[in-house]
């Protein structure tokens, strides 16, 4: 067992067409539940695919916004958010149950995930939905987020998710994609950051300061061929640096 | 404990507006899961409502056809049907789990239920979906149907559902609504038939023959005020005939 | 022809179950286009119903949010809003075309309507969508709203919509439903306000000041029996005060 | 002007990811309207794309079955089918209107198209929906189909659509994909068939007989790279055989 361990996760079952390439690299997969992408057939396929490759399955719940891919802010009540968590987690758990595997984690998708970085009421509602379904589910949340805080306070196991190719602000939030250089494309720099996050638990921010940032799981993207190559390079680099890639 | 027992079920969470009147009469409720009617919010409300009144909750899965209220025939593969069963049962089970109650049964809705009367492949797919989720779930199915047969063969507990106000053909199928007098409106006649089904296990068919028809659960309708009154009259009549109304 | 004229409008095709009672009272109807309520079948029914009663038909477009009945705020881009206007107006216009009648107006529904009271970018996007479809369509908008302003600036004919039973703030916005007494229930007071709005173009605000408020069309509600009675009382009162009820 | 002319059409706005490659080859495009694929945003994109390349735009309406991609048989009433035609054609026409271009044609998608080959009631309902919207719209239909017959009888301009890479039965129906060699993959053979259909109006059937088959428009597929190459080869071959490629 290595001194350093990290989980590699990616979003599956969204119809992007690169699931086959991504899956062998992963230890955890977040499967869309039909609200931003996916449908019962794609969920079955994605679950089976994960089972074959022994990838841990998590739910990837979203606001109900298929036309906006779950990326638009919606003002929902806490009760509505709890309903959406239950409905989506329950539907995916059924496919896991049918295949005889466990549902391990929940990683909210898109704007519900981003809004819960800064909105404690929303964060608590998300956590409440997860907990009412199963208090043993793991929550993936960004370090420094209200979502992580709400999860910890509620007694959930929280795994901190970091993004290898995104710039961070000093407060630990992601630098907006609208800002110049907020997304990194140079595979070497991306790998260097990733290694630093995993080995030192630190990142150099967009404003050039050093920030503590625990990395429990790294999000790999797979919506285009370049992303697949970047993911491979990250995975390879971690292994070469003696980091064990393992589900939480 | 009475010599005779029967369950009273109705479809809830479909937005018909009479759930409040129906629930106190029921021992079992079939809750829509969003495919023909309902949504996560209505599912939460219906589940809570049932919990308050100690009504046993079942899933009421359908073809994905909200505009046709699940009443139109669709040609789906067996895999697709299994997917629809899992997705819907799983999502409703999550709301039950959140309220700390059990999901007791499954009663397919509309055309998937009607088609499974005569289509063994479809019946087997429905049963397979239920069984993969939880082999202890009870299946509501019409006596004489392939759905009941498939359920029994697969080892599910099957409860036979009869309709108090619908005419039956000699083969045990429901007489088409297009036929004259296929739906009974006279409360006395409806009650008389119901008592005969529950006490003797028999019904006089549309073609005027006596048919054996086991009655484990009676479907009450509640989509209009007349239906509510009919339901009350059936319930009252059963009690007066010393039939115990109890969930299966 | 009376010195005073006003249009009476209501939202139809939303499945509330009181369309039959409402239609004979109306001169304009806003028909749901499937985004917050309604579907192609309900649209056909509502359009035919309006044609029979010679009620002018308008589109009632919404954010795509059926589970929230279009009442939740969503952050959409201007292009997305234009797309939603075109899609919904176009689909309803087709049913009008099929019945040989004209589509007269557009009244946005729920939160897109409320947000456009205060958000000029959204207001402009709504107006742009309408105009690209047909610059002769009439826009229903609240007086004092950015939506009305955007419509006027773009050269659309704008008809000012007022609510008979809702309290107004000093800036002309509706007092939040969360505030005490923000919704009026006393038929006499509701009628008195309405007459004042139509005859004098003024309303006494929640903060008890007199505000200029042009009334071109009055919104009648019909989602419950009390609303139907209130609508009848308003209609009757207007006629008795020699106000001509006529479409714009 | 050549002695021989044919239109080249393809389905766009379905999210397959090859629209960019296909569009420059086409004279007509069938755009999905949200029932089997697509949404308002994709419709806007596809319409703009067609306008840029001066491709004639048609609607590609389907049964409401996004999870089955409109390929599953559904039993709808004639009124329901008319509603679906109106809703979809109207919504797409709005995007055309916004761009200042005409909607030229309608080509039904998937199972509604296939069922209308053999079902005259369904065929008439499709035609009725088109005609009620605009009797000048062109109908794309397979030669020998009831859909074509219904269109001609109703006075619509019908353009006969043929498939370059599909085997035909003696009655002019497509040989089921389940049969061996029902889909041709050899580019030379596909081209040879196509030229024969366009120049001679004939095809050699699956059962090896010569069948008269008028070819007004050829359907190109674009859901994978091989399909794109086949489409290019067909287009090139037609030009080399002095066939003018032109919208109807």
If one counts every other C-beta atom within 10 angstroms of the C-beta of residue B152, the result is: 14
Which of chain B's residues have a Cβ under 8 Å away from the Cβ of A91? Answer: 86-88, 90-91, 94
Q: To the nearest whole angstrom, how far is the Cα of C34 from the nearest Cα of chain A?
A: 14
On whether any CB of chain A is under 8 Å from the CB of D39, the answer is yes
Alpha carbon of B106 to those of A181, B120, C89, C134: distances in Å?
A: 53, 18, 41, 50
Bridging pattern class, strands D217-220 and C243-245: unpaired
Whether A47 shows a pLDDT value over 70: the answer reads: yes
Of A39, A40, A67, the CB nearest to D39: A67
Put simply, the answer to whether C44 touches D83 (Cβ < 8 Å) is yes
Chain D adjacent subunits, 3+ CB pairs under 8 A? A, B, C
Domain boundaries, chain B: 4-245
Residues of C in contact with D127 (CB under 8 A): none
Quote the percentage of chain A above a pLDDT of 90: 93
CB contact under 8 A, D90 and C86: no
Pairing of strands C243-245, C217-220: unpaired
CA dist C191 and A218 (Å) reads 63
Q: Would the CB atoms of D72 and B76 count as touching at under 8 Å?
A: yes
Burial class of residue D24, CB neighbours in 10 A (0-12, 13-18, 19+): exposed
Q: C244: helix, coil or strand?
A: strand
Count Cβ neighbours within 10 Å for each residue of B99-117 and write b for 16 or more, e otherwise: bebebbbbbbbbbbbbbbb
Tell me: the pLDDT tens digits for B204-220? 999 999 999 999 999 99
Q: What is the CATH number of domain C4-245?
A: 3.20.20.370
Tokens matching residue A58 = 């998590």
Which of C90, C106, C127, C134 should one mutate to test binding to chain D, selecting the residue with the greatest count of D CBs within 10 A?
A: C90
Q: What is the pTM of this model?
A: 0.97
Between A222 and C23, the higher pLDDT residue: C23
| CA–CA separation, B82 and B125 (whole Å) | 6
Closest chain A C-alpha to B155 CA, distance in angstroms: 17
Express each pLDDT in D139-163 by its tens digit: 999 999 999 999 999 999 999 999 9
- Enumerate the residues of chain A whose CB falls inside 8 A of the CB of residue D66: 39
Q: Beta strand B103-106 with A217-220: parallel, antiparallel or unpaired? A: unpaired
Strands A157-163 and A202-204: unpaired
Q: What pLDDT digit, counting tens, does each position of A191-237 carry?
A: 999 999 999 999 999 999 999 999 999 999 887 888 899 999 999 99
**Residues C94, D89: C-beta atoms closer than 8 Å:** yes
pLDDT of residue D3: 87
Residue B1 pLDDT level (bands cut at 50, 70, 90): low
CB atoms within 10 A of CB B16: 18
Shortest Cα distance, chain B CAs vs residue C132, angstroms: 29
Closest chain D C-alpha to C57 CA, distance in angstroms: 16
Give the integer Cα–Cα distance in Å for D149 and D147. 5
On the question of pLDDT at D216 being above 80, the answer is yes
Burial class (CB in 10 A: 0-12, 13-18, 19+), C24: exposed
C111-138 per-position pLDDT tens digit? 999 999 999 999 999 999 999 999 999 9
CA distance readout (Å), D7 to B44, D148, D247: 53, 17, 5
What's the mean pLDDT in A105-132?
98
Its sign, for the CA torsion C11, C12, C14, C15, is positive
Count of Cβ atoms closer than 10 Å to residue B221 Cβ: 19
End-to-end Cα distance, chain C: 14
* B41 to chain C: closest CA residue: C67
Token pair, residue A17, equals: 């067409």
Pairs across A and C, CB distance < 8 A: 30
Q: Is A66:A37 a contact under the CB 8 Å cutoff? A: yes
Between CA B43 and CA B72, with CA B60 as vertex, the angle to 5 degrees is: 115
- Specify whether the CB–CB gap between C2 and C239 falls below 8 A: no
Q: Is the pLDDT of residue D53 over 80?
A: yes
pLDDT of residue A1: 64
Is D78 in the B-facing interface, judged by CB distances under 8 Å? no
- The helix (run of H) or strand (run of E) holding residue D193 is helix D187-200
| Structure-block tokens of residue C87 | 């899609």
Residue D1, pLDDT > 90, answer no
Cα distances (Å, whole numbers) of residue C98 to A163, B122, C59, D237: 53, 39, 15, 42
Q: How confident is the model at residue C166 (pLDDT cuts 50, 70, 90)?
A: very high
Residue B57's DSSP bridge partners are B29, B103
Q: Cβ of A15 under 8 Å from any chain D Cβ?
A: yes
- Report pLDDT digits (tens) over C26-60: 999 999 999 999 999 999 999 999 999 999 999 99
């Amino acid at each position: 067992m290595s001194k350093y361990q990290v989980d590699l996760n990616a979003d599956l079952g969204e119809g992007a067409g690169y699931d086959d390439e991504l899956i062998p690299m992963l230890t955890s997969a977040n499967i869309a539940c039909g609200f931003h992408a996916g449908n019962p057939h794609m969920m079955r396929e994605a679950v089976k695919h994960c089972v074959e490759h022994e990838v841990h399955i998590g739910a990837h719940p979203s606001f109900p916004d298929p036309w906006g891919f779950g990326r638009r802010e919606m003002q929902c009540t806490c009760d509505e958010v709890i309903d959406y968590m239950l409905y989506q987690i329950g539907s995916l758990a059924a496919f896991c149950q049918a295949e005889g595997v466990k549902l391990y984690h929940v990683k909210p998708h898109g704007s519900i995930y981003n809004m819960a970085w800064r909105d404690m009421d929303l964060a608590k509602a998300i956590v409440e939905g997860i907990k009412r379904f199963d208090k043993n589910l793991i929550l993936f949340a960004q370090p420094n987020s209200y979502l992580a805080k709400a999860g910890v306070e509620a007694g959930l196991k929280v795994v901190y998710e970091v993004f290898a190719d995104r710039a961070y602000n000093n407060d630990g939030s992601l630098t907006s994609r609208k800002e110049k250089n907020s997304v990194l494309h140079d595979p070497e720099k991306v790998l260097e950051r990733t290694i630093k996050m995993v080995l030192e638990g630190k990142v150099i921010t967009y404003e050039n300061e050093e920030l503590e940032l625990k990395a429990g799981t790294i999000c790999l993207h797979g919506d285009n061929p370049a992303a697949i190559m970047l993911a491979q390079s990250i995975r390879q680099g971690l292994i070469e640096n003696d980091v064990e890639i393992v589900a939480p």
